A and B are shown apart, each in its own frame.
Chain A
Amino acid sequence: MASVVSRRSVLPGFGLSLGFTLVYLSLIVLIPLSAAFIKTAGMSWADFVTTVSAPRVVASYKITFGISLLAALVNAFFGGIVAWVLVRYTFPGRRMVDALVDLPFALPTAVAGIALCALYARNGWVGHWLDPLWAGGVARLAAWVPWIDWAGWLGPKLAYDRPGIFLALTFIGLPFVVRTLQPVLAELEPELEEAAATLGANRWQTMTRVIFPELLPALITGFALAFARAIGEYGSVVFIAGNQPLHSEITPLLIITKLEQYDYRGATAIAVVMLVASFVLLLLINLLQKWSRRYYRL
């Protein structure tokens, strides 16, 4: 034991930099977050349970985590394609497209919400033909498979309903996937694919056996970032969600609702549940990433 402690790193400055790291993390992350826990600690356990398991709150967890997951998955797929195109091909306007990817980072989320709403509402540019199409699709599904509540699950409208939440969360999550994948893709040497080809692999095999395993850890990181970002998103979603209790209310909105009634403890109680759930999920995703690295790099 003693030998482990006394063994010094060859790199100097460990004590100082670790000190900085801890102070910085405490000021920026740990202390604000622990405030939520401390505030919640003033509640009795029974009150806490009633608050965080009220039907509206439980419904909002399902909506927030479910749609965030869906949006992150879609972003992982399409964001992957975007990153691939941006790295692997040269075409006129590539720099422009590349810069466009960052816009969701920079745009105030309220603006994003209002813009998406203007676009996808029934009187919007896209909405005026896509919204009836979506409504028709949902109605047809309901006719074919009547024992599932399609309108309840999918929502019969684009804007002001669940699809709106999905659109907003996809929008804000996209750059996370693209920006984490790009450097890894750029590092990936074409020689690897050439070697695979000379060794007799067809294109599909090269893709799935050579390229994909290399990309998977970065893809999972991007997915996790997009997912985490979506869980906490408020500004853009409230404008486009319709905010129907039990149907399209996201958890951050319920936190605001509690604050609006000066119920600080109730608000922090829900926040604590979200924090813990997000932490566990991110931890799981991190483990998954580690596992994927080990699995593919035998």
Chain B
Amino acid sequence: MKFKVLLSFLVAAALAAAASAKSITLLNVSYDPTRELYVDFNAAFAKYWKAKTGDDVTIKQSHGGSGAQARAINDGLQADVATLALAADVDALFNVGKLVPQDWQKRLPNNSAPYTSTIVFLVRKGNPKGIKDWDDLVKPGVTIVTPNPKTSGGARWNYLAAWGYALKKYGSDDKAKEFIAKLYKNVPVLDSGARGSTTTFVQREIGDVAISWENEAFLALKEYGADKFAIVVPSLSILAEPTVSVVDKVVKKKGTEEVAKAYLDYLYSDEGQEIAARNFYRPRNAAVQAKYAKVFPQLELITIDEAFGGWAKAQKTHFADGGVFDQIYLK
């Protein structure tokens, strides 16, 4: 008897909760170095959404290697939104699982990349090897730490930035390949992910320079002390565009489409841009950019679309099996 009463109470309570103030849970599946960014952003968005609609929204975060996260979503992880390191990984959500439409990247402004970053150098205190630009990396005796571009989505940007520089300076694909081969000859440790590389450089004290995302480099300075390391900005680098998308199939099933879309739109708002900038991602918004101009120095930035004809092509030429990255080791 008691049990039945309790049960009916529970059912009634559940129904009541569903009927009145909605409490929504979103899952944001992201990659490793956005953890701090989304902790800040989720709090801001929850507040904004509560004020706007009266609904409580809780955002759960999942972080891991960008490719592994995309695979998890394809394999059934119920992500409402995917905020990954490169467009290729969101493309995989279309190619493998058909979870997003083919033209997902056109749905939001700026290639669906609300914040950007670039590739810079992290060097040791006083820059003892005098590293100023990409050319200094291929000098004999300089050791470089960078993750394996085949296992780390983020590290593909590192490789492409170096390639873009060499292509511009030396003028031909063959010369660029030579340059890249020399560069990776100076890499004694190819970690499988970006955080692993940072650990190798910072804690194991291996390497004269780490090629790193700008936001990761800033985090390393913040974490381990600006007196131990310095950031060197090369003359040319690549515009790294971490892309975001609603996962259509999941939000349609869960009925969270509206809030998931609003969540991503909010990344483009003044507050969202400000939060990105505070977490060392370059904002898109001109006003916020101007405010943080001192943090993010100007440099020549190439884009993946102009210089490489998009991710699919870059992936095939450089990182597929037998691609350029494999060739430089097999020579």
| Chain A interface residues toward B at CB < 8 A | 51, 54-56, 114, 117-118, 121-124, 157, 159-160, 238-239, 242-246, 253, 256-263, 266
Contact of A261 among B65, B206, B319 (CB under 8 A): B319
Q: Is the CB of B319 within 8 A of A238?
A: no
Q: Bound state CA distance, A132 and B116, in angstroms? A: 43
Q: Bound state CA distance, A288 and B319, in angstroms? A: 44
B316 vs chain A, min Cβ distance (A): 10
Q: Is the CB of A256 within 8 A of B206?
A: no
Q: Bound state CA distance, A261 and B320, in angstroms? A: 8
B321 at the interface (CB under 8 A from A): yes
Assuming the A-B contacts A260-B68, A262-B92, are A243 and B190 also in contact, with contact meaning beta carbons closer than 8 angstroms in the complex? yes
Q: Is the CB of A253 within 8 A of B330?
A: no
B201 vs chain A, min Cβ distance (A): 12
Q: Is the CB of B192 within 8 A of A118?
A: no
| Chain B interface residues toward A at CB < 8 A | 65, 67-68, 71, 92, 95-96, 148, 150-153, 188-192, 196, 199-200, 203-206, 315, 319-322, 326, 329-330
List chain A residues, Cβ under 8 A from B200. Answer: 160
Contact of B203 among A118, A122, A263 (CB under 8 A): A118
Q: Bound state CA distance, A286 and B65, in angstroms? A: 40
7 A-B residue pairs with Cβ-Cβ distance under 8 Å, sorted by A, are A124-B204, A159-B204, A245-B329, A257-B148, A260-B153, A261-B321, A262-B67
Assuming the A-B contacts A123-B205, A262-B95, are A55 and B330 also in contact, with contact meaning beta carbons closer than 8 angstroms in the complex? yes
Q: Bound state CA distance, A26 and B71, in angstroms? A: 26
Of A246, A259, A262, most buried by chain B (CB within 10 Å of CB) is A262
Q: Is the CB of B68 within 8 A of A54?
A: no
Q: 18 other contacts beyond A157-B188, A260-B68, A260-B151, with CB at 8 A cut-off?
A: A56-B326, A118-B203, A121-B206, A122-B204, A122-B206, A123-B204, A238-B192, A239-B196, A242-B190, A246-B330, A253-B151, A258-B321, A260-B150, A261-B315, A261-B319, A261-B320, A262-B92, A262-B95
Q: Is the CB of B150 within 8 A of A261?
A: yes
List chain A residues, Cβ under 8 A from B191. Answer: 238-239, 243
Q: Is the CB of A260 within 8 A of B65?
A: yes
Q: Is the CB of A242 within 8 A of B188?
A: yes
Q: Is the CB of A121 within 8 A of B321?
A: no
Q: Bound state CA distance, A239 and B199, in angstroms? A: 10
Assuming the A-B contacts A122-B206, A123-B204, A266-B321, are A256 and B151 also in contact, with contact meaning beta carbons closer than 8 angstroms in the complex? yes
Q: Is the CB of A243 within 8 A of B330?
A: no
B188 vs chain A, min Cβ distance (A): 6
A113 nearest in chain B by CB position: B196
A59 vs chain B, min Cβ distance (A): 10
Q: Bound state CA distance, A201 and B120, in angstroms? A: 72
Which 7 A-B residue pairings sit nearest by Cβ, starting from the closest? A245-B329, A260-B67, A243-B190, A121-B204, A242-B189, A123-B205, A160-B189
Of B92, B151, B188, B320, most buried by chain A (CB within 10 Å of CB) is B151
List chain A residues, Cβ under 8 A from B151. Answer: 253, 256-257, 260
Q: Bound state CA distance, A262 and B88, in angstroms? A: 11
Q: Is the CB of A257 within 8 A of B96?
A: no
Q: Bound state CA distance, A193 and B96, in angstroms? A: 66
